Amino acid sequence: MNGIRHEVVQADGVRLHVGRMGSGRALLLMHGWPEFWQTWQPVMERLANNYDLIAPDFRGFGDSDKPAGDKPSDQAGAAVHGADMAALLDSLGLAKVGLVAHDVGAIVAQDLARRVPDSIVGVFCFDCPYPGIGARWAEPGHLKEIWYQSFNQLPWAAKLIGASRDACATYIGHFMRHWSRNPAWVEEMLEIWVDNLMRPGALQGGFNWYVSQNASRLATIRDELSPQTPINLPTCVRWGDGVVLPAAWADRLHETFSNLDFAVLPGVGHFPHRENPDLAAREIAKFFDRIWTK
């Protein structure tokens, strides 16, 4: 089994860093916030004998291009990342891929599945935000869990959190631990994630997602989003029972994914691929091994 290969791909004028491992059928792995490509490494190591695992950093994250300067930008929403990922597939010459996504990446996966459906074999998501969550995002008991979505939009948020390694570790470490039911993985990875976020532009690059998606977020809470055509591709959603995205919120997923295989994963929270990578890799392989033969 080969180790991680690091590539830089020019995708429609954007420089995207990719971590890649293995060979075979191609899976595009899309991270969430505050993650970067490396969040997928344990799963990649378990799947590399049978799959070509392609884990990019979204623009603004990791080693991919960052926005110029330190000003918030609204050019980092789902449509922007979806277009980047479509261009990445073209640049890599990949005619067919499976999508594996988590959190922010799962929102991008919805855009990509609608943008280039003929290139997508199927969609696999962990903890998948989607329009049907609606006003539950802002229920009084849940406001204490989503305060960061507003904080990350403040023009000085990145400067404050990036003022020191301790500040960054305190902020990011809170989410890593608080969102996990099995947080044993956090202490090993915290310094690596802080190293990543302390790179120039990386904090603001990630925070720009929240700036860019705010109008959509508010429309979701107000139930004002325009209806979208359901995604008909084979879809598997595995949901950890965490605090920021409770598993009960999956009750309307069928409105977004018409060909859905859904289950709650026991014993994990928001980061199944980190909290129990053996289980996460098995679920991914089981889904794609089933649908890719059809």
Residue type at 107? Answer: I
90 Cβ partners below 8 Å, 6+ apart?
Answer: 11
| 138 vs 146: CA distance, rounded Å | 8
* 103 counts as catalytic: yes
Burial of 232 from C-beta contacts in 10 A (0-12 / 13-18 / 19+): exposed
Contact 207, 158 (CB under 8 A): yes
CA distance 163 to 242: 30
Selecting among 81, 102, 270, 273, the annotated active-site residue is: 270
Told to judge if 90 belongs to the known catalytic residues of this protein, a careful annotator would answer no
List b or e across 114-141, with b for residues whose CB sees 16 or more CB atoms inside 10 angstroms. eebeebbbbbbbbbbbbbbbbebbeeee
Active-site position among 57, 103, 111, 127 = 103
> Of the residues 51, 130, 171, 210, which is catalytic?
210
Beta strands 5-11 and 14-22 are antiparallel
Task: Please state, in angstroms and rounded to a whole number, the distance separating the CA atoms of residues 212 and 227.
Answer: 20
Return the active site residues: 103, 210, 270
